[in-house]
Amino acid sequence: MELNRPDDESPPAPSSPLPPGRNIALRLAYDGTPFCGWQVQPNGPTIQAALQRAIQRLTGESLTVYSAGRTDSGVHALGQVANFFSQSPIPPRQFGAALQTHLPTEIQLLESWEVPPRFHATFSARWKRYRYLIHNAPHPLPFLKNRCWWLRRRLDVEAMQAAAEGLLGKHDFRCFETEWPNKTTSVRTIYELQIFRQPLWNPWRPRAIPRGEQLLESATADDSLVCLEIAADGFLYNMVRSITGTLVNVGRGRWSAADVARILTAQDRSQAGATAPAEGLYLVQVEYDHDWPGTTPELSRERRSS
C-alpha cells in the first residue's frame, strides 16, 4: 500500500521550498465501505478527496493531504495519520473539530495538531500496524457485514500461528505482492505477526448479556473472532490480505508451516493463497520517531491531558 505512489504523494525534496503555512497533522478513523480507497480517483468517492474538499470549504484552500498509508477500497482505519499545509489562522488543535462539520459521518477526525515543516505522514513513519478480522462462526451476523471476513469452518489458529512465525524478520515478500515488480524493493521487515481468537461483542449475541463472573465465562465460551495482528516497517500492495489468505489455508488444514516457508522462498505470487477480502482489514496504528512532536501515542496522551 505504500508502493507505486502517484507523483502528488511524493515528499518535498530536502532542498526544495516547503509549501507556505503551518504543517497540520490529523489522526482519523474511517469506515472504508463507501469509499474507493484513500487516494483521489476519477470514478468514485475517496477519503483523500473528502478531506481536501472539507479543507477547501473551511479555509478556501486547494491543497493535497498526505497519508501514512493509501488504504484500498473497502479497507478501514482506526488510526490513520495525515498531514497538510495550511495558511488558515484556525488553531491546530481546533482544526479537526472545524473540519468534521464538512465531512461524512464515515470519516471521524480524532485529533489535530501542528508538526514540524519537514514531517510527512507517509515518509516519516517508522512502522505501521494492521489488523485483519475473521468472523469464524456457523452463521454470519448482519451487523458484521463489511466489517470482517466470514468463514464457516473453524480455523486451526495454533497451526496458523506456527506458520506465521516463519514470516517474522526481514525477507523479500514479493510472493505476497499483487503488483510486482515495483519501483523500489519488495524487502520488508515484519516485527510482529500474531493470530489469536477473541470473543464476539456481547450485545450482538442472541442471549442475555452476562455480568460479573458470567462475563468471564462468556469470554472463554465465545471465541468466534479470529484476529491477525501484523506490524512491519512497510507493506507491499495487498501484502496483509495475501498473508491472511495464505494463513487461512493453513487454518483449513490445506497447507502446513513448511508450505508457507516454501512459498516465501519461491517468491512467486501464484503459489501463495488468495487475497483476503478488503472488508476485514484495518489500519490500526502508525508509529513515528519522537522527533516529530505529538505523533507517538505517548505524546498524544500527554497532549490530551495538558
What span, in angstroms and rounded, lies between the C-alpha atoms of 272 and 247?
A: 9
Grid coordinates representing 86?
495550511
Grid coordinates representing 143?
451487523
The count of other CB atoms within 10 Å of the CB of residue 153 is 11
Using the Cα atoms of residue 192, residue 161, residue 223 and residue 246 in order, give the sign of their dihedral.
positive
What span, in angstroms and rounded, lies between the C-alpha atoms of 284 and 130?
A: 5
- State which H helix or E strand residue 9 sits in: none
Q: Which amino acid is at 192?
A: E
**Which residue out of 8, 72, 222, 223 is catalytically annotated?**
72
What span, in angstroms and rounded, lies between the C-alpha atoms of 140 and 225?
A: 11
Q: Among this protein's residues, is 72 annotated catalytic?
A: yes
Active site residues per annotation = 72
